[in-house]
Structure 1
Amino acid sequence: MPAQITLDIDYDFDFSLVAISCFEWEYRLAWLINKKLGSNLVRDEDLEVRFKSDQSYHALYTGACNDGECKLALIKNREADGIMMPELVQIDYMLKIEDAYSNAEDYVKKLREITQIQGAYLIDVEKLRYKEYLITE
């Protein structure tokens, strides 16, 4: 009988995640964030999410801050064909921030200054059930 090998991958979730409630279309929100943060979010390939029998595609915008020190990813949580993070059903978008030199709360404060955003707050990534879907690279 052949030996069975199990590959156990342990991801490093070394990023901050901001939950955003906003009724704007994703391209408009990306533009507003670019304008406020001085970033360069651009449309990327949709993020494919597979549950047991369902599959959904979520809009993804990636880019960097104006100083190039951080990487950003704007992900649409709710699409017509499914929700990416079921435990965050009330959230429209998530902004993933990979920045070792800055406080994520600074980004939240700037996002809250955008009038079209109804709410923005930090999420504890470790508490998310499907956090592996946030790996965009």
Structure 2
Amino acid sequence: MAVHKLILDDVFEEVDCTLIAIHCTIEDYRLAYLLNKHLSTNLTRRTSNLDFSFDNATYSIFEWEDAKQLITWSLVSNICKTEIYKQENFNSLFKTEEKVIRTIYLIPEYKAVNYFLKIDNQFNLSKEKNILKNILKIQQVATAFSIDINQLKSKDNLIFS
């Protein structure tokens, strides 16, 4: 019997995008407004959230498709807080439920990051530094830095389409 071997090297290529982590405490819509102002973008709220049903987690997402340069910009929240009811199991006549707030991260490797700005284009180093410099000019942003998306374990969570 013949053995058939499939080679998938051409199918799974390296991800070609720029990922910037943003740490700040402001709301998502306010950050989108400030990024639009400082980066000359037009990020708008997507009609539906980014939804992961296996975790019961939803993340807010803002997108802009730059028709001139054929680039998609996405601003996505890294944190989702959900309420779950946990039943207490101790010897009692009454059932008791305790409300617990569970925090789920889109990219668990970066728990201190509040938002990710994903740009579906690999910029040269000077253009990426210029974007970072403009983000850091925003007073409400504590810090921002670039992340190599190919080093992430959970990079599949960054597929929004």
If the TM-score is normalised by the length of the shorter chain, which range does it land in?
Answer: 0.7 to 0.9
Equivalent position SS for 2:34: helix
User: Which string of whole-angstrom CA distances, capped at 9 and with x for unpartnered residues, describes residues 9-58 of structure 1?
Assistant: 7365110100000111000000000011111100012112355xx23110
Partner of 2:73: 72
Partner of 2:58: 57
Matched-pair identity in % = 29
- Distance (Å, rounded) in 2 between the aligned partners of 1:41 and 1:99: 16
Equivalent position SS for 1:61: strand
Could you state the TM-score of these two structures normalised by the residue count of structure 2? 0.71
Maintained 8 Å contact 1:97/1:104: no
Partner of 2:25: 23
5+ residue gaps, structure 1: 1-7
Decide which moves more: 8-17 or 30-39.
8-17
| Higher Rg | 2
Of 150, 153, 156, the match for 1:129? 153
Partner of 2:109: 87
Shift of 1:101: 5.4
Equivalent position SS for 1:24: coil
Maintained 8 Å contact 2:60/2:77: yes
Of 40, 49, 72, the match for 2:42? 40
Could you state the TM-score of these two structures normalised by the residue count of structure 1? 0.83
Compared with structure 1, are the counterparts of its residues 107 and 11 closer, same or farther at alpha carbon in structure 2 (3 Å cutoff)?
same
5+ residue gaps, structure 2: 1-7, 83-103
RMSD: 2.0
